[in-house]
Structure 1
Amino acid sequence: MTSYKVLVRDVIKKADVLLEVIDARFPDETRNSEVEKEIIRLNKPFIIVINKCDLVSKEKLDKTKARLSRIAPTVFVSSKDRSGTTMLRHQILASACIKGRDILVGTLGYPNVGKSSVINGVTGRHRASTSPISGHTKGVQHVDAGSRIMFMDTPGVIPFDENDEYVQGLLGIKDATHLQDPIGVALKIIEKLLAENKAALESFYSVTIETRNSYSVLEQIGKQCNFLQKKGEVDEMRTATRMINDWQNGLLLI
């Protein structure tokens, strides 16, 4: 964990402008107060980049942007269709008053929020290596985006003293195979969808939900997917793994 702190502070010191990339589904959970405080302490300009905006409603996006814009310039993008990347490029150029050389842009954020994908969206080509597996980026990679912009792509910034496995599952920091309690994480996913987009949950799994009990919903989905054991009981682990994979692959929308 100490090595991450050193790496982050080094990137902040070297960069002319910082991007804090967050997940549109969890804007507050994927902000890192330690990183933001260090950026402010060193008086560096930074931009909050709300990635994966295609996974949430426009109404929710607008509310999040209005709130976070009070802290720093905020741009939402979708690496999937490159929307917002031109606006982000303009914001980078506007935030950094640098002449005569490239603008060095540090990218920071949790594992799996899509930092490398954001960079590729701005550059318009596959320059930064990406993977759905958390922790894919190793060390700092420099990526030339053209138009005087040079990115510093970094490994995910793991929050200090972060031991909440449920949060790690929801954010995609750990996939289903590395979670000790996949069923518990799946229940958290169901709870969130029941609260924020029940219709999407019903539509995706072709079920009609008439309960607020997340465990009952898990069983209902397991039956619909025909994930049954020999005695006809629902295979809860298989159902939970399917739901976590669907969630982390961006198939379940809020």
Structure 2
Amino acid sequence: MPIPAIQWYPGHIAKAERQLQEQVKKVDVVLEVRDARIPFATYHPLLATWIGNKHKLLIVNRVDAIPPTVRELWAEWFVSQGEQPFFANAQQGTGVAAISKAAQSVGVAINQKRKERGMLPRPVRAVVIGFPNVGKSALINRLLNKRVVESARRAGVTKSLRWVRISDRLELLDAPGIIPGRLDDQAAAVKLAICDDIGEAGYDRQRISAALIELCQELGYVAGFEDRYGSIPTTLSGEEYLHQLANEKYRGDLERTSHLILNDFRTGVLGSIPLELPPKSNS
């Protein structure tokens, strides 16, 4: 029997996506937020079409969840692709001041043109766009220095669009997480599930925890497993290791073991683990 595809596209996202395309026409700059653990998997293929020629800031959030060496690799790669990434940890506030400054600098040029036309200055209008649970609401709260939008470590918390006045120079549109209507790239969908960037209704937890184990094996990030569970998944498949750990530690309870492994990864207990690395240079 074929493995069911991972799909997750709740109704509020479909509605918000339609509204977002209308609101994007009114903004000056787009803050695109991606997950540092999976920058490729959290790229929306329609984003470039939606924003056209508008200014865009690329924000790679949850930078604390990857090693500094991997951050440097991503920084070099994005620059090589013509993008200047802003690395941030929105929960802690790391990197947020630079993002605010860059967004407001767009407003300087806009208001200069308005002044030349005899118009009064106005705040720069920005929209925060990204997959569910990549940290958009946490970023807005940090930019405002107080909690104004609900933020939680799970997908699908923000369900409607709302404007938030950051200062007399910056207004932000907080939008629900957007995700393609169909997840055709199932390898990326697995990574989204591992990182909790799609809802739990869209995947099987045991399958996803086994996939996490195998990704860690492939990328060489297994030391945290020994520190946490007393054994390393080296020669076993992800599913075999899952069964072994469940039998040794949790009375054969695969669901409990799967939940534990995923939660330990998501909260950093297993260490700083990237699930994607940038392509290597051919030079």
TM-score, with structure 2 as normaliser: 0.78
Alignment partner for residue 235 of structure 2, among 211, 215, 218?
211
Report Cα offsets for 1:12-65 as digits up to 9, x if no partner.
Answer: 2111100110000000010112012321x2x10001100000000111111112
Per-residue deviation, 1:105? 0.9
Q: Does 1:166 align with 2:186?
A: no
| Letter matched to residue 63 of structure 2 | C
Contact 1:169-1:244 at 8 Å conserved across structures? no
Determine the C-alpha separation between the residues in 2 that align with 1:159 and 1:48.
19
Per-residue deviation, 1:179? 4.7
| Letter matched to residue 186 of structure 1 | S
Determine the C-alpha separation between the residues in 1 that align with 2:90 and 2:61.
7
1:54 — aligned with what?
A: 64
Q: Does 1:142 align with 2:176?
A: no
1:240 — aligned with what?
A: 258
Q: Percent identity?
A: 23
Report Cα offsets for 1:69-98 as digits up to 9, x if no partner.
Answer: 334331010023211011111111233423
| Letter matched to residue 56 of structure 2 | F
Size of the aligned set, in residue pairs, is 245
Contact 2:33-2:60 at 8 Å conserved across structures? yes
2:114 — aligned with what?
A: none
16 and 127 in structure 1: CA distance in 2 versus 1, 3 angstrom threshold:
same
Q: Does 1:29 align with 2:41?
A: yes
Runs of 4+ in 1 over 4 A off after TM superposition: none
Q: Secondary structure at the match of 1:139?
A: coil
206 and 150 in structure 1: CA distance in 2 versus 1, 3 angstrom threshold:
farther
| Letter matched to residue 170 of structure 2 | I
Q: Secondary structure at the match of 1:5?
A: helix
TM-score, with structure 1 as normaliser: 0.87
Determine the C-alpha separation between the residues in 2 that align with 1:130 and 1:220.
36
151 and 82 in structure 1: CA distance in 2 versus 1, 3 angstrom threshold:
same
Alignment partner for residue 68 of structure 1, among 75, 78, 98?
78
Determine the C-alpha separation between the residues in 2 that align with 1:147 and 1:217.
55
1:231 — aligned with what?
A: none
Can you give the 5+ residue segments of structure 2 that lack an aligned partner in the other structure? 1-12, 112-120, 274-283
Task: Using the TM superposition, name which of 215-224 and 103-112 deviates more.
Answer: 215-224
131 and 45 in structure 1: CA distance in 2 versus 1, 3 angstrom threshold:
same
| Letter matched to residue 14 of structure 1 | K
Contact 1:46-1:72 at 8 Å conserved across structures? no
Alignment map for 1:94-113 (pairs within 5 Å): 94-96=105-107, 97-99=109-111, 100-113=121-134
Per-residue deviation, 1:250? 4.3
Determine the C-alpha separation between the residues in 1 that align with 2:194 and 2:23.
27
Alignment partner for residue 136 of structure 2, among 115, 121, 131?
115
Determine the C-alpha separation between the residues in 2 that align with 1:3 and 1:14.
18
2:148 — aligned with what?
A: 127
Instruction: Say what the alpha-carbon RMSD is for the aligned residues.
Output: 2.2
2:18 — aligned with what?
A: 6
Q: Secondary structure at the match of 1:33?
A: coil
127 and 180 in structure 1: CA distance in 2 versus 1, 3 angstrom threshold:
closer
Q: Which has the higher contact order (CA 8 A, sep 6+)?
A: 2
